[in-house]
Amino acid sequence: MSQLRCDPITGRWIIADITSPKRPGEFELMPQKKKGGACPFCAGSEKMTPPEISAIRKPGTKPDTPGWSVRTVPNKFPALDTQGSVENRAIGIYDMSSGIGAHEVIIETPAHDKDLADLTPKEIENVISEYRARSLVLEKDDRFRYLLIFKNHGAAAGASLEHSHTQIVALPIVPKRVKEELKGAVTYFGYRERCVFCDMVAQELQDKLRVIFENRHFVAFCPFVPRFAFETWIVPKKHNQDFKSIDDKTVKSMAAILKDTLARIKKVLKDPAYNFIIHTAPIRDGINEEFHWHLEIMPKLTSVAGFEWGSGFYINPTSPEFAAKCLRQGKGE
């Protein structure tokens, strides 16, 4: 039996299988094989990348040399150009804008054979601190309106290099997906005078059915309306619209829950490809106090096909309640 569920934020509908959920071992995965050897992101290969922008490194070591634990470089093949000004214009009924922005790569570890899930909480804390540091720098550029932090793990998720890394893109516009969430959050707040994400966190902590793990500052859960099998959200318990404003204690808590969640996904689903995205408020669109930043993890276990593209519905073969149970137990069924 399937069930239709509606997302209270975006209004998106999904179809979830709640009686015969697909189990972790039943998905056909593209194996994640580590080839080893040198690559542009390995320690000792620093000259193979564009010049270093920023890094967390041992005292006394120089840029573009070994001795770093987290390193940020420009993307060698950027989606946007840092040079120039933003120019919006129209060609008849069509709107256009110059491709101005920034595209950076945050290399999470010098070790080629380690994924983010394999790092220690302290090492992940350094990675998150670098996310924050680069965000604080990029937001100062008046041309940029949104900072998108995302990770592609595995070829099926779009990773062109297997060495573990995250990307940050500064955009001169606010993406449609973000606008949908902002609109949904504002509408919900206007109707109930409460944050929809805060209400979601309270509901999940009360029900317990979809919660995977929680600590002082965060809760990880499979959302009630997941687009994808084993989709997982990590949401701050305290209301905050802006990721880059988090303090050091929150960074530490985030590192702990991200480590735990990714390790569970890797174990239960046998190291699937996945994407994760940090959703945060735009830079220059007012305060956006109705919004609540969060991180979404989407394992690549199924394909989006004609029905999804044609209807806007997503078909999820595994209910979030069953997925959360598997991840809580740390094993497939």
CATH number of residue 252's parent domain: 3.30.428.10
Across 97-101, 123-127, 169-173, which has the greatest mean pLDDT? 123-127
* pLDDT(37) > 70: no
**Structure-block tokens of residue 203:** 């509901």
Residue 259 inside a domain? The answer is yes
Percentage, residues of the chain above pLDDT 90: 68
Q: Average of pLDDT values for 89-97?
A: 75
Residue 28 inside a domain? The answer is no
pLDDT of amino acid 36: 52
Least confident of 7-11, 45-49, 181-185, 250-254: 7-11
Give the CA radius of gyration of the chain.
Answer: 20
* pLDDT(256) > 60: yes
**pLDDT tens digits for range 57-72:** 999 999 999 999 999 9
Percentage, residues of the chain above pLDDT 70: 94
Are 253 and 291 contacting, i.e. CB atoms less than 8 angstroms apart? no
Confidence of residue 226 (pLDDT cuts 50, 70, 90): very high
Q: Average of pLDDT values for 296-308?
A: 90
For residue 113, what are the domain limits?
A: 2-21+38-81+98-329
Does the CA dihedral 61-65-70-75 come out positive or negative? Answer: positive
Alpha-carbon distance 212 to 10, whole Å?
23
Question: Could you give the angle at which helices 121-138 and 248-268 cross, rounded to 10 degrees?
Answer: 120
Q: Which residue from 159, 132, 330, 322 is spatially nearest to 245, judged by alpha carbons?
A: 132
Mark whether 165 is an active-site residue. Answer: yes
Work out how many domains the chain is built from and give that number: 1
* pLDDT(16) > 60: yes
Residue 221 inside a domain? The answer is yes
Q: Average of pLDDT values for 16-34?
A: 69
Active-site residue, selected from the candidate residues 163, 165, 217, 292 = 165
Per-chain mean pLDDT for the chain = 90
* pLDDT(31) > 80: no
Residue 87 inside a domain? The answer is no
**pLDDT tens digits for range 152-163:** 999 889 888 999
Confidence of residue 14 (pLDDT cuts 50, 70, 90): confident
Confidence of residue 23 (pLDDT cuts 50, 70, 90): confident
**Structure-block tokens of residue 212:** 């995977």
pLDDT of amino acid 290: 92
> In terms of pLDDT, which residue wins out, 108 or 312?
108
* pLDDT(222) > 70: yes
